[in-house]
Amino acid sequence: MLHVLLMPLIIIAVIVMHFGTLRIPHVNNQEGEEIDFDKEAEKYLSGDTKNSKVIRFQWDFLAKDFMVMAFFLTFFFYLVFYHYEFAMDPVNFDPADGLKTPPHIYPEWYFLWSYEILRPFSKDVGLMAFGFAQVIFLLLPFLDRSPNAKPAHKRGLFQVWFWIMLIDMIVLSIMGKVPPEGVFNTIGLVAALTFIGLWIILPFITMAEKKA
Amino acid sequence: MRELKILVIVIFFTLVTYWGVEPYAHSQMHKHVESENFEYKDLPKVEKGDIAKGKELVMSNCTACHSIKAENMPAPMDPVTSSASYGVNPPDLSNVGAIMDEKYLAAFIADPAKASNVAHKFTPESGKVHPMPGYSWMPKEDIASIVAYLKSIAPKEVTPKEAFVTACGRCHAARYDGKMLGEKWTQIGQKPKFKFDKDSLAFDIKVMEYQDNLKKYMGKLPPDLSIIIRARSEHFLKTFIENPQTQLPGTAMPRVGLSEEGFEKVMQYLENIGDPSKPARDALGYKFLIYMAIFTLFAVLWKKSVWKKLH
């Protein structure tokens, strides 16, 4: 009951809320450009669609979405038919044996980064770091003290922070899957410390941002 | 243009992540073993043998334990009794000539433990001897004649399942090999669908007795191979079957001496039971992709017509 009905309902409700809140400051754009939406919408409706900076959801947006989806589905079904094993880890096809632990255990790929934040430390420190990694992304809106609501490439140091974070997450993901031996341990530890360090400095570098 | 740039960056980082957690991570997890393409370079060449002489030698030396169904020679004992005496049921020799390498066959007849790379199990200290006696006392030409005879009786075309049964199926079960519920390959043969539970259980008891004997002989029960095709890569299976010691040092699994064609047959069988819907996917796949291509074409045309009036 909880998972087949209640959870989907909650997810649908969150999506509705998400679309609703999008209407309040209006949808953002790649350039972070300030647009007078009412004026642009009027321009569109009066027939000057070429110069208007806004488009309609139906069919302007949908037609493009449909096209991208078609490309994606073609690729997706190519994988389904000809690379069926693509997303299936071979480990999952070995029958479980309570007396034999596999030499390397690792979670699904999307959890690897947080697994690698757990792994390089001793037990208690590792658990604390792991707990930190699980909740910290939820606190992002509060740790970002910048007065600006703009894309990262218009925000100075935050852009550097963003790219280091992205690369760090990929390094963590890869290190989370390779066996914990030799140089991989060191890389994993450095990447995990970088992850924690980035979150500690985030409020300071965003506070230093000037109102643009 | 900006959108395309963003797409390229997203694809780039996706590919780097994929490469890191799949091919790269797996290359670090498993030792790399080069394949020798079933050449058995460590074994000497076999000369041409005399088929008639070989037949005589096989009748006087082999058929006391081995059946040869192709020549209407039945097994002297049923599988369970055989396993009680030998640890494992001796193979039927009808098609070994078709799926095994001839150099290997000759080397195996001369010294089974050495040829199959399991001499470490049968050291003098262990007090155990290989269930098949070695024929190293026999002249090389006679062994060559036996091999020539075995090759002469082997059928031209061996089915994937026959190859599996001879090479693997006396130690490894395949519980998904069957069209109906309850059917499966066991070490003593194919389990049919029984009408009565009593018969089904009687069969199972025989399988268990056989497995107990096999466990004593191998150290543990060899794994069921139903979905091994998904659990291991083709390269792993190839190098492992060529020489199990390279991937699992000290394993009780013998080198079985498959030739390249024999290996392909076995792989075909493993694929048939581990991924039975592959033929259906292959047959439908290209039609579906043609459909998707047309779909995409229309989607592009539609987008173009809608966006003509936009910026």
Interval A178-187: pLDDT, tens: 998 889 999 9
Q: What is the pLDDT of residues B45-87, one digit of tens each?
A: 998 889 999 999 999 999 999 999 988 899 989 999 999 999 9
- d(CA B2, nearest CA chain A) in Å: 9
When pLDDT is averaged across residues A125-143 and rounded to a whole number, the result is 94
Which of A31, A33, A64, A171 to mutate: most B Cβ within 10 Å?
A64
Three-state secondary structure of chain B: CHHHHHHHHHHHHHHHHHHHHHHHHHHHHCCCCCCCCCCCCCCCCCCCCCHHHHHHHHHHHCCCCCCEHHHCECCCCCHHHHHHHHCCCCCCCCCHHHHECHHHHHHHHHCHHHHCCCHHHCCCCCCCCCCCCCCCCCCHHHHHHHHHHHHHHCCCCCCHHHHHHHHCCCCCCECCCCCCCCCEEECCEEECCCCCHHHHHHHHHHHHHHHHHHHHHHCCCCCCCCCHHHHCCHHHHHHHHHCHHHHCCCCCCCCCCECHHHHHHHHHHHHHHHCCCHHHHHHHHHHHHHHHHHHHHHHHHHHHHHHCCCC
A94 interfaces chain B, CB cutoff of 8 Å = yes
Q: What is the pLDDT of residues A96-121, one digit of tens each?
A: 888 888 778 899 999 999 999 999 99
Distance CA(B202)–CA(B198), nearest Å, equals 6
- Which candidate, A126, A125, A110, places its Cα nearest to that of A172? A110
Single pTM value for the model? 0.86
What ipTM score was computed for the predicted complex, to two decimals? 0.88
Q: Whats the size of chain A, residue-wise?
A: 212
Cross-chain Cβ contact B289/A81 below 8 Å = yes
pLDDT at A155: 86
Vertex B253 angle, CA B249 and B257, to 5°: 105
Exposure letters B243-279 (e unless 16+ CB within 10 A, then b)? bbbbbeeebebbbbbbbeebbbbbbebbbbbbeeeee
DSSP state of A86: T
Between A23 and A37, whose confidence is greater? A37
Distance CA(A206)–CA(A141), nearest Å, equals 11
Distance CA(A117)–CA(A170), nearest Å, equals 12
pLDDT at A103: 76
Nearest to B310 among A60, A95, A178 (CB): A60
A residues 18-77 closer than 8 Å to B (CB)? 30, 49-53, 55, 59-60, 63-64, 66-67, 69-71, 73-74, 77
Distance CA(B59)–CA(A169), nearest Å, equals 69
Helix or strand holding residue A167 (H, E): helix A157-177
DSSP state of A103: S
B309 interfaces chain A, CB cutoff of 8 Å = yes
Distance CA(A59)–CA(B303), nearest Å, equals 9
pLDDT at A95: 85
Mean pLDDT, all residues of chain A? 90
- Which candidate, B49, B229, B242, places its Cα nearest to that of B147? B49
Collapse the DSSP code of A55 into the 3-class scheme (helix H, G, I; strand E, B; otherwise coil) and give the result.
coil
B290 interfaces chain A, CB cutoff of 8 Å = no
Is B222:B216 a contact under the CB 8 Å cutoff? Answer: no
- In chain A, the residue whose alpha carbon lies closest to the alpha carbon of B294 is A70
Cross-chain Cβ contact A93/B227 below 8 Å = yes
| B114 Cβ contact partners less than 8 Å away, ≥ 6 residues apart | B107
Is B101:B257 a contact under the CB 8 Å cutoff? Answer: yes
Tell me the pLDDT band of A26, cut-offs 50, 70 and 90.
Answer: confident
B224 interfaces chain A, CB cutoff of 8 Å = yes
The residue assigned the tokens 């173009």 is: B304
Tell me the pLDDT band of A210, cut-offs 50, 70 and 90.
Answer: confident
- Which candidate, B151, B174, B188, B165, places its Cα nearest to that of B92? B165
Distance CA(B255)–CA(A92), nearest Å, equals 27
Q: Residues in chain B with pLDDT < 50?
A: none
Rounded to an integer, what is the distance from CA B208 to the centroid of its chain? 22
